[in-house]
Amino acid sequence: MKILILSFSAILILGCKQANSGENSKPSSNEFNNYWYSGKAELTSYELEQARYGEIHKGEAVLIFVTEDFWKDKQVKYEFGEKTDKVTPILKLNFERKFNTGIYPYSMMTSIFTPTSGEKTLKITSTSQEWCGHTFLQLNLRSESYESQLFSYFQGEGDKKSKIKTKMLEDEIWTKIRLNPETLPIGEIELIPSTTYSRLKHQQLKSEKAVAKITVNGTTKTYELSYKDFQRKLKINFNSKFPFEIQSWEETHLSGFGNPKLLTTKGTKKKSIKLDYWSKNSVADSTYRKSLGLNP
């Protein structure tokens, strides 16, 4: 009987482990440093099909990954002063989406600041601008909770502050994939949904239950997330080997008001370059947009 109990316990423990396809996908320190600390950012453009108002709208998205030093207490980029133990290296993602709905455009960007050590994401900011108005949402990790600040044009949201008990963030899945996908949780989990999704749905952020899994198809892995209490699924397809480039993604959820439809937003990779884009700000440098296949 003891043997059976121990065996069953071992199965339970193994069932809660991180996904492993049989190959060790954890990057070595040398290849990680050579790629991420080369003094350049990774810029990748995507063809975007964005669900909004019960229809699919064409657009473009850009994922900008770059490492930098970050103040853990102030939660801003380290630029000057003594570099103490309160400064930590992070992988930052600026996730930009642009699409038109009829006559007027949307511009949305989420910034994610995740320590390269694999610790909890320190900060997220998420903005949305369109012709009706704009919103700004910020999450800051403080002890056992994320402090949330929302500034919005819309009456139903207004300016609000709240606290959310620390859980994994859907937004940090993107940076965790790039740092080490072996750290992605699988099975039944609890997490805070995407800040972009919450802005499009005008919903207050709170932790939700979901089921996560990883599947493998040749050299591509797919991380799939299915929420249990509302209709939303996320699939992110990425290369199984370092540096784990993101090839495409799909977000399925109800879109539209009154009689919403279940639609799928899609992002499909176009082009990718490594570039110190912060120094490419002259008129002549606009040719780099062409190399990424982006609109002028």
Q: Is residue 82 part of a domain?
A: yes
Q: Are 43 and 277 in contact (CB under 8 A)?
A: yes
- The string of DSSP letters for 192-256 reads EPPHHHHHHHT-----EEEEEEEEEETTEEEEEEEESSSSEEEEEEEESSTT--EEEEEEEEEES
Q: Is residue 2 part of a domain?
A: no
Q: For the segment 71-99, what is each residue's pLDDT rounded down to a tens digit?
A: 999 999 999 999 999 999 999 999 999 99
One digit per residue, the tens of pLDDT, for the chain of length 296 reads: 444 333 333 333 333 334 444 344 567 789 999 999 999 999 999 999 999 999 999 999 999 999 999 999 999 999 999 999 999 999 999 999 999 999 999 999 999 999 999 899 999 999 999 999 999 999 999 988 999 999 999 998 889 999 999 999 999 999 999 999 999 999 999 999 999 999 899 888 999 999 999 999 999 999 999 999 999 999 999 999 999 999 999 999 999 988 999 999 999 999 999 999 999 999 999 999 999 999 88
As a whole number of angstroms, the distance between CA 232 and CA 254 comes to 8
- Rama region for 22: left / alpha / beta (φ>0; ψ in -120 to 50; rest): left
Q: Is residue 283 part of a domain?
A: yes
Here the tokens at position 182 are 């072996």
Q: Identify the pLDDT of residue 12.
A: 35
Here the tokens at position 220 are 């591509």
Burial (Cβ within 10 Å: 0-12, 13-18, ≥19) of residue 209: exposed
Q: Pairing relation of β-strands 168-169 and 187-192?
A: parallel
Q: Is residue 278 part of a domain?
A: yes
Sequence-ordered strand ranges (E) for 102-175? 104-115, 123-130, 133-142, 145-152, 159-165, 168-169
Q: Kindly give, in sequence order, each residue whose CB lies less than 8 Å from that of residue 7, ignoring residues fewer than 6 positions away.
A: none
Give me the number of domains the chain comprises: 1
Q: Is residue 17 part of a domain?
A: no
Q: Identify the pLDDT of residue 26.
A: 67
Q: Identify the pLDDT of residue 25.
A: 58
Radius of gyration of the chain (CA): 20
- The one-character DSSP state at 132 is T
Q: Is residue 63 part of a domain?
A: yes
- Helix, coil or strand: residue 180: coil
Instruction: Please give the residue range of the domain that contains residue 72.
Output: 23-291
Q: Is residue 18 part of a domain?
A: no
As a whole number of angstroms, the distance between CA 58 and CA 36 comes to 31
- Helix, coil or strand: residue 175: helix
Q: Kindly give, in sequence order, each residue whose CB lies less than 8 Å from that of residue 146, ignoring residues fewer than 6 positions away.
A: 139, 140, 163, 164, 166, 169, 192
Q: Is residue 91 part of a domain?
A: yes
